């Protein structure tokens, strides 16, 4: 019978996949020798080229049709996200690498402590893989849905619509040859953008997933403390165990602060660009005929709530830490140890949350506020358009 893989081995396998995907877009920051390279430069040039194509489209059509501004926003929002995420990863590459290696050290340390810790780490492995797989399916489905609507319209009605409203310079999409060249270009843009954004977001998934799971180890540590107290409230191991719990709580707070720091621009750009993408696509639906608008707006909402759910899980983790500290049997502790519990309680009253631009918390509640605002603006535009 084949032995079950160690949690550290499973984590390293996942990290290998993350590094492989990020290497393809030139941001394998876990590599200790990482530096800005030819692949990174190519990705930056590709993003710049997308901006140039959109600017050319605006320059060509703005005099006769102002709604071209709406047309270009879908590709521009994705390119903007890509540019900002590329900047964020390369700018904070050392901190990305530090966090990834620290998680590996946690696996290495706690899988040796005991069976229950090892079992919890294996649960982490499973949850982490599921989140990465769901993320991959979301981005792959995004690319496929973007292709389906124009294809269906072309098959059923013979009408030629672009997949994304972006054209290359000197290519006339009104001709048969120009249209198919543009379609091929659109397909490449869609799949490259989907893979690129997913590769950037792998670090968000990896780190925020583990930020959620720190309470699991905390809970096991508290359980160990209670076992010591029940056996002998004067046991000399109680104070070191409690200090270890306090250090773990402090480490969780620092880890969350670091995640909030390195993902500041990534999360802010994702939420803002996605929101503006929804608004511009709604206006396109009201004013123009673009079959791709319907799947695109659906996917924007999926992207909006995908990040928001991760942020909400971190909020829930903060509440769990607070409740877990309250559950410590402080009344059985020495006075000095009770002060340690009081210090943890004080720190837990100021929860560490992932924010959007340092203003709003990244949460489902914030996403619902954004959705309500989008609905209100859409209704206002419909009233004025009558």
Q: Where residue 4 falls among pLDDT bands split at 50, 70, 90? A: low
Neighbours of 136 (CB within 10 A): 18
For the chain, domain boundaries: 7-385
* pTM, two decimal places: 0.85
What are phi and psi for residue 232, nearest 5 degrees?
-160, 110
- DSSP secondary structure string for all residues of 17-51: HHHHHHHHTT--TTSTT----HHHHHHHHHHHHHH
pLDDT at position 65: 66
* Alpha-carbon gap, residue 311 to 212, rounded angstroms: 9
* Alpha-carbon gap, residue 63 to 310, rounded angstroms: 43
* Nearest to 52, CA basis, from 76, 74, 70: 76
pLDDT at position 228: 87
| pLDDT above 50 (res 253) | yes
What's the pLDDT tens digit per position in 281-319?
Answer: 888 777 776 777 777 888 888 888 988 998 898 999 888
CB 68 within 8 A of CB 57: yes
What's the pLDDT tens digit per position in 316-357?
Answer: 988 889 889 888 888 888 888 889 889 888 888 887 888 888
SS3 369: helix
pLDDT at position 1: 42
SS3 354: coil
Neighbours of 233 (CB within 10 A): 12
> Residues of the chain with pLDDT > 70: what percent?
95
* Alpha-carbon gap, residue 297 to 95, rounded angstroms: 34
* Alpha-carbon gap, residue 345 to 287, rounded angstroms: 55
CB 187 within 8 A of CB 163: yes
Question: Tokens representing 359?
Answer: 């203003």
| pLDDT above 70 (res 125) | yes
* Alpha-carbon gap, residue 331 to 328, rounded angstroms: 9
Lowest mean pLDDT among 75-84, 169-178, 246-255, 267-276: 169-178
- On the CB side of 349, how many CA atoms lie within 13 Å of its CA? 5
Look at phi and psi of residue 158 and say left if phi exceeds 0, alpha if psi is from -120 to 50, else beta.
left
* Alpha-carbon gap, residue 35 to 363, rounded angstroms: 34
Residues in the chain: 386
Question: Tokens representing 237?
Answer: 């191991």
Beta strands in 215-374 (DSSP E): 355-356, 360-361
* Alpha-carbon gap, residue 268 to 355, rounded angstroms: 8
SS3 370: helix
Which one of 131-135, 264-268, 375-379 scores highest in mean pLDDT?
264-268
**Averaged pLDDT for residues 215-239:** 86
pLDDT at position 97: 92
């Amino acid at each position: 019978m084949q032995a079950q893989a160690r949690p550290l081995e499973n984590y390293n396998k996942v990290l290998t996949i993350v590094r492989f995907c990020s290497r393809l877009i030139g941001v394998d920051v876990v590599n200790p020798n990482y530096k800005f390279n030819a692949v990174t430069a190519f990705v930056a040039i590709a993003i710049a080229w997308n901006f140039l194509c959109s600017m050319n489209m605006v320059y060509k059509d703005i005099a006769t049709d102002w709604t071209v501004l709406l047309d270009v926003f879908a590709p521009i929002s994705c390119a903007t996200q890509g540019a900002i995420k590329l900047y964020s990863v390369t700018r904070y590459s050392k901190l990305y690498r530090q966090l990834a290696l620290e998680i590996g050290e946690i696996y290495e340390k706690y899988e040796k402590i005991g069976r229950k810790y090892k079992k919890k780490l294996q649960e982490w492995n499973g949850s982490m893989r599921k989140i990465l797989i769901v993320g991959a399916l979301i981005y792959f489905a995004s690319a496929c849905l973007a292709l389906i609507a124009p294809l269906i319209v072309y098959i059923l009605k013979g009408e030629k619509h672009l997949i994304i409203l972006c054209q290359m310079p000197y290519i006339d999409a009104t001709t048969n040859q120009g249209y198919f060249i543009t379609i091929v270009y659109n397909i490449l843009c869609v799949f490259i953008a989907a893979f690129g954004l997913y590769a950037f977001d792998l670090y968000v998934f990896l780190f925020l997933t583990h930020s959620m799971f720190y309470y699991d180890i905390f809970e096991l540590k508290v359980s160990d403390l209670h076992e010591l107290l029940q056996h002998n409230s004067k046991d000399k191991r109680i104070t070191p165990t409690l200090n270890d719990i306090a250090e773990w709580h402090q480490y969780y707070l620092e880890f969350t602060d670091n995640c909030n720091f390195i993902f500041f621009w990534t999360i802010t750009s994702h939420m803002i660009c996605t929101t503006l993408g929804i608004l511009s696509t709604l206006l396109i639906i009201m004013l123009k005929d673009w079959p791709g608008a319907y799947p695109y707006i659906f996917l924007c909402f999926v992207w909006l709530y995908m990040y928001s759910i991760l942020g909400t899980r971190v909020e829930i983790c903060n509440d769990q830490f607070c409740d877990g500290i309250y559950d410590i049997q402080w009344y059985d502790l020495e006075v000095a140890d009770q002060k340690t519990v009081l210090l943890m309680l004080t720190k837990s009253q100021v929860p560490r949350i992932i924010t959007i631009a340092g203003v709003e918390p990244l949460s489902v509640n914030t996403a619902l506020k954004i959705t309500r605002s989008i609905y209100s603006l859409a209704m206002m535009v419909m009233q004025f358009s009558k």
